[in-house]
Amino acid sequence: MVELPDPVDHECLPCYLYRVGSNNPCYGDLRALKNYRDLSAPRATALEKKIMLLGGWCDCEVLANAFRPITREAAFAVDLEKELVCKGTRRGSIQPCEQWVMRRGVQWGGGRFSSRSA
């Protein structure tokens, strides 16, 4: 069994997934995400459910679908598969650092579309 690296102090979720993903294949599940949650944000119990709603069914999809790089530095790093230095996040938080933005626009719960034609 492959051991995933642990998140370092104040490393945010997408930076961690990016770092893991550049050194490991995707295993088709959320093991890196779960590893991060267990070690850095154990209270974020709804994380997997939320992430799946954003299209993150495995670790690489989380990075592809749930987060978007917003700094030039981050976009370049992702494009060129270079190393990215995390700007740091609050411990226990699943918020990304300033290099990324979490995708929004998902309605939690409900799931009912109402027509609002003019």
* Cβ-based burial of 30 (10 A; exposed 0-12, middle 13-18, buried ≥19): buried
CA distance 25 to 9: 23
Q: Which one, 25 or 111, has the nearer CB to Zn ion? A: 25
Q: Does 15 bind Zn ion (CB under 5 A)?
A: yes
Among positions 26, 44, 52, 53, the unique one binding Zn ion when judged by CB under 5 A: 26
| Whether the Cβ atoms of residue 65 and residue 52 lie closer than 8 Å to each other | no
* Closest CB 36 distance from Zn ion, rounded Å: 11
Q: Does 30 bind Zn ion (CB under 5 A)?
A: no
Residue with tokens 């918020």: 95
Among positions 41, 63, 94, 97, the unique one binding Zn ion when judged by CB under 5 A: 97
Which residue ranges make up the site for Zn ion (CB under 5 A)? Answer: 12, 15, 26, 58, 60, 86, 97
